[in-house]
Chain A
Amino acid sequence: MDMRPDPLVMMTTQAPTHATLSAPTKVAAKNVNVFYGAKQALTNVSVEIPEKSVTAFIGPSGCGKSTFLRCINRMNDTVDSCRVEGLIQIDGKDIYDPALDPVQLRARVGMVFQKPNPFPKSVYDNVAYGPRIHGLSRSKAELDQIVEQSLRKASLWEEVKDRLSDSGTGLSGGQQQRLCIARTIAINPEIILMDEPCSALDPIATARIEELMEELRKNFTMIIVTHSMQQAARVSQRTAFFHLGILVETGSTSDIFTNPVDKRTQDYITGRFG
């Protein structure tokens, strides 16, 4: 086995090296294996994700891209049968180190989910919840400021400034998703994970979220999972293609879409399967 190098491992480990990295690495994964009970969901995934850019995970359904995303903020810990092997580092520190508290990790690695899931509370309380539990404000005025800034950054302020006390669940789908983004950036995380953030939204709401991602990239490291290759092409700087639990190929988005190395990548982006 050792004599014949595994082409996949070679490729995935080599992949980052032949792309020119403009920014330092924020998240690094080495030989990550994930199991749900006896079933292996991810095999030997190794990837490096640069700081302050958008990285898109693409691939057909069930390929493990969401599973990998949820490993980065240890959301998989909440699934009893889930087991993660290998090394995932943020800023060079192992996030599965027993000394590291997963709750604190999630404050540093925010997450936006597929279906907008605002708390059934007021718009204000939705955004203020994170800062409150982490003690990020010393006064009501400061908290007001955090809420306003977060809603502005999520380009939602103008729409909701007059109804901050209305229920967050009363907003439209696209507004709800931007509210969830505002809720995430209110605690100023280093990384924002987005799990198919636009799949439940109409094209106009999707366009607004995509604009927002472009804006947020300046301050946050962003990783998105998407089914839409057009979206990956539009918003991301780097793309990783997953297939059947393995990371097939990773590189700059333009390379992946114009000049894929692997045949499966080519088949997928040209719409031959998936």
Chain B
Amino acid sequence: MTDITAGGVSAPLRRVEFDTPAAKARLRGRYRSEARFKSYGIIALCIAATFLIALLASIFSRGIPGFFQHYLVTEVLVDAAKIDPQGKGDAATLRAGDYTAVARAALAEAVPGVEGRQMKKELNSLLSSGAGDALREQVIANPSLVGQRIKVPLLLADEADLFLKDSGTKLLVLSETRGIATPSAKTGEITILVGANDFADDIAVVKAELKALAASIDETVALRKERGATPESLDSLVKEAVELRRRYDAAATSETLDSKTASRLVAINGGIVKIKEMSPTSVKGEVILPLKSTDDAAPGTWGIRVYETPESNRNLNDLGVTFLEELKAKGLVESQFNFAFFTRGDSREAELAGIQGALVGSILTLLVTIGLCLPIGVLAAIYLEEFAPKNWITELIEININNLAAVPSIVFGLLGLAVFLNFFGMPRSAPLVGGLVLALLVLPTIIIASRAALKSVPPSIREAALGVGASKQQAVFHHVLPLAMPGIMTGTIIGMAHALGETAPLLMIGMVAFIVDVPSTLSQSATVLPVQIFLWSDLPEPAFKMKTAAAIMVLLAVLFVMNGLAIWLRKKFERRW
């Protein structure tokens, strides 16, 4: 024990050298390797931060417009004839009233002089099918509004909203002075005559557009050929290019405008005419907004408008664009924060679709999950950590719990489908079943987190409690569990955040249905936030892209709040011992 000299003959021990060149080189090497390691860490952090910022920037730039919506803010005559013809004034009658007609009347008033069925249909399609909903609620709340003129915001349809948000087409106003123009009539199909070759330049521009279009079709044909398309399948494209070239080569006497090139309109005498045929000295077209007179228009008082995106590449046709521009010019269009996004359920109309149904569905589902997971998970962890004998059975259970945490979530969905839906016959698409499935998914996480939290409580606390004659259960519940609680809560909240973002298992149990109603009980059909995002991202309407990004923002906000709560809980209840 005390014989330090044991081992007798060995190499003489050397001192650490510190001023030889070799020692200095070693020191420099050590500093270098430390600096290298630090720089690797910083680079890794920078890369992660870049990705995060790019992701958030992309989501925010798409999502923020999704929280706003354009409205037609105008005076509306709450017409008793349309809402309450018999003058009953009770809520049921007021609810059944034709508010769409009221809204349409207000729109017609805002854009006067629109004639013809087709035109009126186009005008009305600017309004959302739910434009009258807000008005209905207002009138039901205050029946005295019937017969009055009130200023209310009327929801615009998603195409109109989208057009206003990212200006679906560039509007060019050609204002160079041309000669005197004479329209032949105020409405209908008219001809406008001009003196000189005023439209020759415009025809040249159109021909250039045709040429560019033909060239781009050629490119497409070449590309498809390269990829092995049969000549027959490309026939129509080739013919189209040939036709475009023929038009381009033809003499510049007259040109028919169609939806493949930019739309051209003449603004003259307070009205707007869409050009259909163009020659150097005259244009033929259809009146969209009626002219005030057929007088000669002096040079400088009339001009040409160009909608650069060809009509066939737009969601809103020339009529819609013209009406919207008219409304915008009158200052009747307003962008407002879309509160309805948080108070409505899903809808097939993008402008009416809201997140509340999914949000409530998520909350109900998570309530079921936490209600099951927390007690079962914590009690299981306490039993395994504090009471269970350490033998091969408990070891097997522990291994299996760890394995369960790594099982792909879709498998839990299949289990839920087989057990909860098919065997127990629980309702399809219900938050109850969703919560049960997610509970299965999260349970291992909570057990593992709780066990880690219990393990981190120093054994001296258990000994102290046992030492004053507390039973094992008293020691655990009075002392160990309260100390482990912050860790358990953190684990639980992170598990819940995981459950909140889970989609795959819920698809299996039918929570992927299109559900308009906001659920209020656990057995009603519902969907959840991530599934709603999945559903919207799948829809063809471009307006749903914004809704998708906005819904992602809501989901992220909920996740941040939950994680923030976890950190706050940990900080608040963290105790030192």
Which residues of A approach B to under 8 Å, CB–CB?
73, 75, 78, 80, 103-104, 106-108, 110-113, 115, 117-120, 129-130, 133-134, 167, 169, 180, 183-184, 186-187, 273
Closest A residue by C-beta to B463 = A113
Complex CA–CA separation, A133 to B476 (angstroms): 13
Complex CA–CA separation, A120 to B469 (angstroms): 18
- Quick check: A103 and B470 within 8 Å, CB to CB? yes
CB < 8 Å: which of A78, A107, A113, A117 contacts B469? A107
- Quick check: B467 and A106 within 8 Å, CB to CB? yes
> Chain B, 554-577, contact with A by CB distance < 8 Å: what is the 0/1 string?
000000000000000000000111
- Quick check: B577 and A273 within 8 Å, CB to CB? no
Instruction: Give every chain B residue within 8 A of A186 (Cβ-Cβ).
Output: 468
- Closest CB-CB distance, B37 to chain A, in whole Å? 37
A-B contact sample (7 more), CB < 8 A, given A117-B458, A130-B470: A75-B467, A78-B463, A120-B483, A129-B465, A129-B470, A167-B575, A184-B467
CB < 8 Å: which of A78, A103, A110, A113 contacts B460? A113
- Closest CB-CB distance, B382 to chain A, in whole Å? 16
B55 within 8 Å of A by Cβ? no
Which residues of B approach A to under 8 Å, CB–CB?
1-2, 389-390, 458, 460-472, 474, 478-479, 483, 575-577
Instruction: Give every chain A residue within 8 A of B389 (Cβ-Cβ).
Output: 80
Which of A75, A108, A117, A187 is packed against the most chain B CB atoms within 10 Å?
A117
Complex CA–CA separation, A139 to B351 (angstroms): 67
- Closest CB-CB distance, B391 to chain A, in whole Å? 9
- State whether A106 and B575 are in contact (beta carbons under 8 Å apart), knowing that A115-B460, A119-B479 are contacts in the complex: no
- Closest CB-CB distance, A112 to chain B, in whole Å? 8
Instruction: Give every chain B residue within 8 A of A108 (Cβ-Cβ).
Output: 469
Closest B residue by C-beta to A168 = B577
Q: Which 7 A-B pairs have the closest CB atoms?
A: A107-B469, A117-B460, A111-B467, A130-B468, A106-B469, A117-B464, A120-B575
- Quick check: A106 and B468 within 8 Å, CB to CB? yes
Instruction: Give every chain A residue within 8 A of B467 (Cβ-Cβ).
Output: 73, 75, 106, 110-113, 184
Closest B residue by C-beta to A189 = B469
16 cross-chain CB contacts under 8 A: A78-B472, A80-B390, A103-B471, A106-B466, A107-B469, A110-B467, A113-B467, A117-B458, A117-B463, A117-B464, A129-B468, A129-B470, A133-B478, A169-B576, A183-B468, A187-B468
Complex CA–CA separation, A130 to B467 (angstroms): 9
- Quick check: A75 and B466 within 8 Å, CB to CB? yes
Instruction: Give every chain B residue within 8 A of A129 (Cβ-Cβ).
Output: 465, 468, 470, 478
- Closest CB-CB distance, A220 to chain B, in whole Å? 14
Complex CA–CA separation, A143 to B466 (angstroms): 20
Complex CA–CA separation, A167 to B576 (angstroms): 10
- State whether A187 and B576 are in contact (beta carbons under 8 Å apart), knowing that A115-B460, A119-B464 are contacts in the complex: no
